[in-house]
């Protein structure tokens, strides 16, 4: 994700701020000045948004640090104007672990809310509930802490809506997984989420326009999660050895780019492994060959353009695991070795897509919409 600014690093996790967030701050400031508020009120409004997002960062760290206890790392936390996003490597497969990770975020907001209520009780302040009836009454300068308490309660409630991609959707899925399999649980949770989403859109038309956006957001999140899980469960009993290709054309590092183009045009292979002295030194895809042709011409050696950042798969590896590793590295092809370190074939993205199609045909259902790595 580009357009993001690194603002902090804690417990080995980088926190990024998406630039559109700055627009939100400017918009809050300008609209409060336009609404006739004085400078102090306008600036406290901006300060309030910053405090709110600090709470969201803590919420995301709740997820990330709980996931770490189960050996799952978090690549980054990004703040967007619509909220925070902790990029976990994956969600835990064990339902109890998933439940703990999903609940940890909202639990942080509960803790913050309790601390803020204690502060209010100790200083003898009250919650300005009259504000809720009349939004023009909202004053951050006067009720900074009380408002922060209210938004933490709202964050807690909003995140526990039982629909993907909200935390509540994962809580629901984890609870259902304890009873049914994970794939069935995901399907039920996704259906409930989509039902709720339609409800949000419906009420949005009648009452509040924002509900329509929330509804669409939930609807897309629920469908994405469901197809990802369907795909995983379809592939769950397969290993790399089941779907790898034994027939493939290796390119030699000293061959020319022109020769690679010929092979590309001649057959149906779109990505290749590249060898030198009987060793694999990397891989190359169609796009990389075309780019090499444009930049260096057809006489240049393939060695100059080979992608050396490759991974080796083993035939006994679970296909889902291989797929995740390939997606993470954006690899389109990988060499596959047996237990003795002998090269036995290659695996490409197309093999995986074909496996998904074959498995869904066998189970008599429609192939899920593809989630492709790049």
**Residues near Zn ion (CB under 5 A):** 105, 167
Question: 120: which strand partners?
Answer: none
**CB closer to Zn ion, 66 vs 233:** 66
Minimum gap (Å) between residue 127 Cβ and Zn ion: 24
Q: Report the nearest approach of Zn ion to the CB of residue 78 (Å).
A: 13
Min. distance of Cβ 65 from Zn ion in angstroms?
13
Pairing of strands 251-252, 271-276: parallel
CB of 85 vs Zn ion, minimal distance in Å: 9
CA distance 192 to 15: 32
Q: At closest approach, how far in Å is the CB of 168 from Zn ion?
A: 9
Nearer of residues 102 and 305 to Zn ion, judged by Cβ: 102
Based on CB atoms, which residue is closest to Zn ion, 164 or 323? Answer: 164
Which lies closer to Zn ion via its Cβ, residue 155 or residue 257? 155
CA distance 367 to 358: 9
| 91 vs 280, beta carbon nearer Zn ion | 91
- Return the HEC string of the chain: CCCEEEEEEECCEEEEEECHHHHHHHHHHHHHHHCCCCHHHHHHHHHHHHHHHHHHHHHHHHHHHHHHHCCCCEEEEEEECCEEEEEECCCCCCHHHHHHHHHHHHHHHHHHHHHHHHHHHHHCCCCCCHHHHCHHHCCCCCCHHHHHHHHHHHHHHHHCCCCCCCHHHHHHHHHHHHHCCHHHHHHHHHHHHHHHHHHHHHHHHHCCHHHHHHHHHHHHHHHHHHHHHHHHHHHCCCEHHHHCECCCCCEECCCEHHHHHHHHHHCCCCEEEEEECCEEEEEEEHHHHHHHHHHHCCCCEHHHHCECCCCCEECCCEHHHHHHHHHHHCCCEEEEECCCCCEEEEEEHHHHHHHHHHHHHHCCCCCCCCCCCC
CA dist 333 and 373 (Å) reads 12
Cβ at position 15, least distance to Zn ion in Å: 15
Q: How far is the CB of 72 from Zn ion (least distance, A)?
A: 15
Closer CB to Zn ion, 63 or 182, in the complex: 63
Q: Provide the sign of the torsion angle of the four alpha carbons 40, 45, 51, 53, taken in this order.
A: negative
Indicate the residue among 107 and 353 with the shorter CB distance to Zn ion: 107
Beta carbon of residue 75, minimum distance to Zn ion (angstroms, whole number): 16
Closer CB to Zn ion, 56 or 148, in the complex: 56
Positive or negative: CA dihedral 361, 89, 162, 77: negative
Question: Which residue lies nearest Zn ion, judged by its C-beta?
Answer: 105
State the Cα–Cα distance between residues 165 and 242, nearest whole angstrom: 33
* Minimum CB–partner distance for residue 83 and Zn ion (Å): 8
- Considering the complex, state which of residue 164 and residue 310 has its C-beta at the smaller distance from Zn ion: 164
- Least separation in angstroms between residue 354's CB and Zn ion is 36
The nearer residue to Zn ion, 105 or 146, going by C-beta atoms, is 105
| Alpha carbon of residue 360 to chain centroid | 25
């Amino acid at each position: 994700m580009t357009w993001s600014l690194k603002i902090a690093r804690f417990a080995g996790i980088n926190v990024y701020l998406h630039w559109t967030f700055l627009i939100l701050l400017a918009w809050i400031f300008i609209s409060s000045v336009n609404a006739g508020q004085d400078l102090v009120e306008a600036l406290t409004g901006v300060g309030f948004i910053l405090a709110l997002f600090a709470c969201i960062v803590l919420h995301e760290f709740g997820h990330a640090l709980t996931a770490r206890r189960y050996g799952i790392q978090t690549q980054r936390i990004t703040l967007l104007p619509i909220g925070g996003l902790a990029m976990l490597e994956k969600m835990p497969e064990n339902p109890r672990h998933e439940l703990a990770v999903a609940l940890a975020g909202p639990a942080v907001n509960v803790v913050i809310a309790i601390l803020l209520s204690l502060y209010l009780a100790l200083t003898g302040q009250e919650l300005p509930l009259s504000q809720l009836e009349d939004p023009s009454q909202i004053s951050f300068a006067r009720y900074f802490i009380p408002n922060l308490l209210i938004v933490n309660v709202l964050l807690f409630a909003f995140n526990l809506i039982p629909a993907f991609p909200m935390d509540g959707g994962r809580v629901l899925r984890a609870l259902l997984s304890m009873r049914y399999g994970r794939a069935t649980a995901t399907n039920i949770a996704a259906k409930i989420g989509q039902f709720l989403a339609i409800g949000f859109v419906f009420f949005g038309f009648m009452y509040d326009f924002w509900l329509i956006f929330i509804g669409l957001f939930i609807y897309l999140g629920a469908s994405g999660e469901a197809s990802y899980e369907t795909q995983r469960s379809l592939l769950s009993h397969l290993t790399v050895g089941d779907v790898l290709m034994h027939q493939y054309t290796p390119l030699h590092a000293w061959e020319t780019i022109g020769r690679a183009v010929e092979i590309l045009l001649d057959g149906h292979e779109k990505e290749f492994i590249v060898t030198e002295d009987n060793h694999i030194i990397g891989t190359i895809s169609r796009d990389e060959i075309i780019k090499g042709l444009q930049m260096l011409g057809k006489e240049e050696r393939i060695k100059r353009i080979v992608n050396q950042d490759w991974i080796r798969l083993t035939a006994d590896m679970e296909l889902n695991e291989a797929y995740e590793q390939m997606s993470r590295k954006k690899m389109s092809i990988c060499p596959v070795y047996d237990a003795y370190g002998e090269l036995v074939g290659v695996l490409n993205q197309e093999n995986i897509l074909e496996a998904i199609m074959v498995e869904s045909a066998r189970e008599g259902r429609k192939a899920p919409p593809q989630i492709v790595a790049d």
